[in-house]
Amino acid sequence: MAFALSTLRVTSPAFDDGAGIPARYTGEGDDISPAIVWQDAPQGTKGFALICHDPDAPLVQNGTYGFVHWVLYNIPASTTSLEEASRVGTKGKNDFGKLGYGGPMPPEGHDVHRYYFWVLALDKPTDDLPEGLSLRDLLIKVEPHLLGMNRLVGTYRRG
């Protein structure tokens, strides 16, 4: 299945779509993941994955652009939200070289960056995947099982 938006809806009690991400969730703050909520998952969903990506980062790595802030998978199908600083799921490797979430921290002097919080609905659980997958490795594994996806976009400019 191609990567295409679906009826899945993604929101956060921490910020509105297209609005600023509070400093608490950034590298300048507490650097904890914001709460993320989703609903209207496609029928047949057996698990979820979540990605946070900054396409405005001036980097090209592994043939793609931007910076990966969060890779999370093995989220049960019964889950419809992650609380702030959630410990649900299996942590992948972000572009800071660490597991789990790494908050927004654009380079000094940059204008506003956009952060896409993608939720992917899958037709099979991902509990067979090991901890530490990169975004690229995760997408290779889950693409054949993608039922739908959608995103919430937040913005941040370094203070």
- Whether the CB-CB separation of 133 and 93 falls below 8 Å is answered with yes
Residue 6 has pLDDT above 90, yes or no: no
Q: Which two tokens stand for residue 44?
A: 């047949």
Residue 23 has pLDDT above 80, yes or no: yes
Tens of pLDDT along 99-137? 999 999 998 888 999 999 999 999 999 999 999 999 999
- Supply the pTM of this predicted model: 0.94
Tens of pLDDT along 133-144? 999 999 999 999
Tens of pLDDT along 31-76? 999 999 999 999 999 999 999 999 998 766 666 678 999 999 999 9
Q: Which has the closest alpha carbon to 107: 28, 34, 52?
A: 28
Which pLDDT score, from 0 to 100, does residue 64 have? Answer: 66
Residue 77 has pLDDT above 90, yes or no: yes
Which pLDDT score, from 0 to 100, does residue 1 have? Answer: 44
Output DSSP code: residue 25.
G
Output DSSP code: residue 107.
P
Homologous superfamily in CATH for domain 9-141 = PEBP-like (3.90.280.10)
Higher pLDDT: 17 or 158? It is 17
Which pLDDT score, from 0 to 100, does residue 115 have? Answer: 97
Rg (CA), the chain: 15
Which pLDDT score, from 0 to 100, does residue 5 have? Answer: 75
Q: What percent of the chain has pLDDT over 70?
A: 94
Please report, for the chain, the start and end positions of each structural domain, with discontinuous segments joined by +: 9-141
